[in-house]
Amino acid sequence: MIAVLVLFKNDGTLSLDDAIARFNTTAPNYEGRVGLITKTYIYEEDGTALGGFYLWESHQAAESLYTDEWKAKATALYGTEPVFRYFDAPVLVNNLATAKGAR
């Protein structure tokens, strides 16, 4: 698995409420996406950054999303270019699945 942290700088003009409204407009685009295990939208507590934390089946699956077109749309939506950080994710603990009886 590959984890990708995608961050956008925020100069304080985008409040948490405004960010949530934008997150909700894009969230449906990720439902059922092939290769995407999970995505969490994030907003830094001090408001200086926001973005998403993605868990992918593979690096190739991640790269299939982060096209130039996707980057341009994201830049337009958040007013700044995204910064990407990739991580190997060799172990996953999923308490939500465990709480629902899955293993």
In DSSP notation, 59-87 reads: HHHHHHH--HHHHHHHHHHHSS--EEEEE
Determine how many CB atoms are found less than 10 A away from the CB of residue 31: 8
> Whole-model pTM?
0.89
pLDDT digits (tens, 9 = 90+) for 13-39: 899 999 999 999 999 999 999 999 999
- Per-residue pLDDT for 101 more than 80? no
CATH 3.30.70.100 fits 2-99, yes or no: yes
The whole-angstrom distance between residue 98's C-alpha and the CA centroid of its chain comes to: 23
The band of 102, judged by pLDDT with boundaries at 50, 70 and 90, is: low
pLDDT digits (tens, 9 = 90+) for 35-81: 999 999 999 999 999 999 999 999 999 999 999 999 999 999 999 99
User: Cα angle at 53 between 48 and 54, to 5 degrees?
Assistant: 155
